[in-house]
Amino acid sequence: MYPGTKEFEWKVESLTDGQMISRMAHENSARRKFDTSVFREAIAAAVEAHGKGLIPPKEMPIDPKTRTDTIRYAPTFSTEKPSVTDSVTHPYTMESFAKFLGFVKAESQKSTNSFIAAFGAEELIADGIMKESQIRGLSAERLSELVIAVRKQRDAARAEA
């Protein structure tokens, strides 16, 4: 033993990439001054990891009763089913991600409003409709209002096209 050093007993666990992302999301939301960037960081990391096949389906199951139009395919936020030429698909839903990351209401196990707003923002950023600079520092309520307004504009533009 070296002088002046201390011994510690560390708990060492083997974790999957998905379990690590989930734990980091919980720690960050508990320790940081909370804002929606915590959700957005966790969502982006989980979508990317799921797209790479690093989160096994058993860690993020999709309810068999889920409407197929709500299923998305990582590494994107798109609900469009990948082409047949794509060898591997990584389906998920917003609800399965919220449960996986632990951002659900205790009584209903449904996504929290903050998670829904952050997920919507990430989706709109990924689609090139919004920019990070537009949402930096927004409260969950304000972000939710903005996401709803931008989606309405997007949907109206699609309907006209």
pLDDT in tens, 66-108: 998 899 988 888 877 776 555 567 899 999 989 888 888 989 9
List phi, psi (to 5°) of 73.
-130, 110
Average of pLDDT values for 132-159?
90
Map out the domains of the chain as residue ranges: 17-160
Token pair, residue 110, equals 């449904």
Q: Are 114 and 36 a contacting pair, CB within 8 Å?
A: yes
Residue 60: which pLDDT band, with cuts at 50, 70 and 90? Answer: confident
**pLDDT for position 22:** 75
* pLDDT confidence band for 153 (50 / 70 / 90): very high
Contact 116, 144 (CB under 8 A): yes
Of 28 and 62, which is predicted with more confidence? 62
| Mean pLDDT score, 54-77 | 88
- Taking the model in full, what pTM does it have? 0.79
Instruction: Indicate the pairing of strand 90-92 with strand 72-74.
Output: antiparallel
Distance between CA atoms of 56 and 62, rounded to whole angstroms?
A: 12
pLDDT recorded at residue 92: 92
pLDDT of residue 31: 60
Residue 72 near residue 93, CB atoms below 8 Å: yes
What separation in angstroms does the CA of 142 have from each of 53, 137, 139? 34, 10, 5
